[in-house]
Amino acid sequence: MSTSKPTFNPRPAWSEPFCITPESRVRYLRTLLLDKSQEYQHKNILFLIYLYETGQLRELRPGTVTWIFDGTIVDDMPKEIPKGSAVWAESIGLQLMQTTQTPQPLAVQMPQSASYGLQGIFAKFRLPAVYGGQANIILDVSIANDTGSDRQTIFATDLAFLDYNPYTYTGRLGPIFMSTASGGIYRKQIFIEMQISRADGTAVSPWFAEIAVITPAQPGVPQYRLSGNAMRNFLYFATSPGNTTLYVAEKKNGIISQLPVI
């Protein structure tokens, strides 16, 4: 029996590169022109093809987002999207968590902070009214804290609860290539608002904007809402050695005061 210890491999569990060449991206974008569900995005798709073919956009890599609004590059998500217009967020998304244990939020109420067992977090979802959502419909959820994820998971069942209408909601952002622990996959993107909360429903964070990827139900397969990046702009997160508790606070000293002495 070998007694050698396995070496750490920081690469993901699949061999595809973390980039997409312009040629590959153009081939995929041309297939979307034949997809009737993407007709509302045709102007943006054609503009992206032009940007890649003229060299204005190069390899697509994680960590950057190019916003396209009605065939024009813009700095960020537009504050208003008129009927008949469309926004596209051109990027690669990451969701690299591998877990064999269901995240079970067990929040402890503390002033301006909270702690959660097994790295589950309480949160709220809503669809902003400015894009055609019903902002008064709020869904309480639990999400898994995935430091290898930059896109928030939202289930199709979540959207049904939020009264999502794909024909009228203008916060749809086009498909995205997701790099996951089990391989690459395309998902539809959507713009949502989130808030991190305690077990009693009170807020730990303000409402903030997040890009989410729509994940369909897979009967019989455990599914988790993996976290996005945006919440890390508002809160501090920490764990301690040998401790399964995730500590969350609005201020740095709130984290320090919660950590156990080892």
Range with the largest mean pLDDT of 68-82, 138-152, 195-209, 227-241: 68-82
- Structure-token match 């034949």, residue found: 34
Q: How far is CA 57 from the centre of its chain?
A: 23
Distance of alpha carbon 245 from alpha carbon 117, whole angstroms: 5
Higher pLDDT, 208 or 219: 208
Distance of alpha carbon 45 from alpha carbon 200, whole angstroms: 44
Distance of alpha carbon 235 from alpha carbon 65, whole angstroms: 22
Nearest alpha-carbon partner for 172 in 75, 52, 57, 37: 37
**pLDDT score for 236:** 61
Distance of alpha carbon 56 from alpha carbon 258, whole angstroms: 48
Buried b (16+ CB within 10 A) or exposed e, 186-203: ebbbbbbbbbbbbeeeee
* Count of positions (residues) in the chain: 262
**Residue 190's beta-bridge partner residues?**
172, 212
Confidence of residue 244 (pLDDT cuts 50, 70, 90): low
Which residue ranges form the domains of the chain, and what is each CATH number? 22-94 (no CATH), 108-258 (2.40.70.10)
**pLDDT score for 233:** 72
Distance of alpha carbon 93 from alpha carbon 39, whole angstroms: 23
The three-state secondary structure class of 152 is strand
Average pLDDT over residues 34-45: 95
Range with the largest mean pLDDT of 91-95, 191-195, 242-246, 248-252: 191-195
Q: Return the number of other C-beta atoms located less than 10 Å from residue 163's C-beta.
A: 12
Residues sharing a CB contact under 8 Å with residue 132, sequence separation 6 or more, in sequence order: 165, 168, 169, 170, 171
